[in-house]
Copies of this chain bind each other. A is one copy, B any other.
């Protein structure tokens, strides 16, 4: 019986261990994928540090991954958009599985609100069938309910994984607030994968000017390369007042502010940067860090619209692939992958990502 090397997370803060699992037999609708790259998301170190409650350890981490179809059930002839697929094709699969029979799934038709949603690399114990349920693994076993999309030959695996799950998160945020129109001014708070993906979306949509407020310098440099007209380093301008002043002097209040920081204090700062009749897309602060002082009068007096957005759906990942097919010649997102680790080096990967040493780190099981 064929085997797969996997990296197992068992206990907080302990080095991850490489193990070998049997590969289950293929059933109706299933796909066995050979992992090409699995992104190390910024939340992975939090999982590893035990800060994410209720993970059903042992777990194989890795919820943003691309790979090649190794074996595919004979009844599954296409990807989730009806595109024919075959063994050898590069695909990007969706880690999450909505329940399909709840208020969010059926009535809202938006699975980001599914309270019974489970996700590969996160909420499946690898002790249970089908075991190969995370991207830090030589092989991944996709069950019949999985969504996945073919990546066209023109798009490198590195480009697809470069901003990981941050890119579909940004696409979904843009959907939720109606996108940008050419000529709109934008300020993005945060230069992580979500913030940089928002920059790409704003740039592709013709926004101008675009300001990114964040850190560290390596990411701000990438931001400028991707088209930010101005970057503000929060290590230089440490207090909110000075950042507000700098942004206003450079571009004034703007049509659209995007929060992609994770810090609730950023929201109060952002409200100052939105123009009258402007929009504020809030995505970063999904981990509950409690209440902070915010002045709601700004929302009223500036006739503002705010949009909260968390998670994403399969269609947003499909859009990412479409956008890369159309625009990666110019974007060259593969350059964002700065660090690459073998399965045995997964622990170092988590430490380096935690220490903000990488623009993007990936697990490459072939190393």
Residues on A lying within 8 angstroms of B by beta carbon are 78, 80-82, 100-104, 106-110, 112-113, 147, 174-176, 178-179, 181-183, 201, 204-206, 208-209, 264, 267-268, 276-277, 282-310, 313-315, 318-319, 322-323, 326-327
Contact = CB atoms under 8 A, between A and B. Distances in A.
Count the copies: 4
Given A110-B277, A290-B295, A297-B287, A179 B181 contact: yes
A286 B294 contact: no
14 contacts: A101-B147, A108-B276, A178-B178, A179-B179, A205-B205, A206-B327, A264-B297, A283-B300, A286-B300, A286-B301, A288-B297, A294-B294, A300-B308, A300-B309
Contact of A106 (B81, B103, B264, B309): B81
A179 to B, nearest CB: 5
A195 to B, nearest CB: 15
Given A104-B276, A108-B315, 7 more contacts: A178-B178, A183-B326, A205-B205, A208-B326, A286-B297, A294-B294, A303-B308
A303 B310 contact: yes
Nearest to A313: B109
Nearest to A291: B293
A134 to B, nearest CB: 23
Contacts of A299: 282, 306, 308
A176 B82 CA distance: 25
Contact of A183 (B109, B306, B313, B322): B322
